[in-house]
Chains A and B, each alone.
Chain A
Amino acid sequence: EIVLTQSPGTLSLSPGERATLSCRASQSDSSTYLAWYQQKPGQAPRLLIYGASSRATGIPDRFSGSGSGTDFTLTISRLEPEDFAVYYCQYYGSSPRTFGPGTKIDIK
């Protein structure tokens, strides 16, 4: 089972700032089966990034993903008010599918 660790647990930033979120996998399978989801209170998660760096349909280009192996990053270039939420990474290359514990971006 691939265990995902996310850091930091909470990120306090202001609108317009850049956010950098980290996701580390316990082992590498040489794939990029890594996705990022955004979840707002009371809502279902929404797919942002898949294949480590591909944006899902309708996702603004201020969201970008990078990384491979065991280290992955989600970057939000300039935070908009609607971006303050919890972000989860997920490995989907094999079972069990696993999620990281999440990073919360809150308003500074």
Chain B
Amino acid sequence: QVQLQESGPGLVKPSETLSLTCTVSGGSISGYYWSWIRQPPGKGLEWIGYVYYSGSTNYNPSLKSRVTISVDTSKNQVSLKLSSVTAADTAVYYCARFRSPYYSSSPFDPWGQGTLVTVSS
């Protein structure tokens, strides 16, 4: 079964760019939409955006000016870049696959385990 694993720096300085990678194993990136979601400590879930395996993207308007999500089918990886970070971007970042292939109106399943990113100098 497909598994997702997030990786990247756990500490990022204010004003810098947060960069994370989601490595997909047990299945192919092709045919699916892939999303990033974050959760500040003790708070709820916020959708960041998604990318289709072809490279097309859709972002949360609240983050759109700072977010880039991309896909590397040769490496079976999905990447997230969030620029000009502040302490408000401190959160657990999850990657998730859309449940159904080729269909953008689909819930998130499965999810990676998540990775905590702290923004601090």
Contacts and interface: CB of A to CB of B under 8 A. Distances in A.
Centre residue among B61, B94, B99 by max chain A CB count within 10 A: B99
A92 B106 contact: yes
Nearest to A95: B58
Interface string A42-58: 01111100100000100
Interface string B101-121: 000011111111110000000
B113 A44 contact: yes
B99 A50 contact: yes
Q: Interface size class for chain A? A: 20 to 34
A99 B113 CA distance: 18
B60 interface: yes
B58 A33 contact: no
A44 B94 contact: yes
A30 interface: no
Given A90-B107, A95-B58, 13 more contacts: A44-B94, A44-B112, A45-B111, A50-B99, A50-B109, A92-B105, A92-B106, A92-B107, A92-B108, A93-B105, A96-B61, A97-B35, A99-B47
Contacts of B94: 44-45
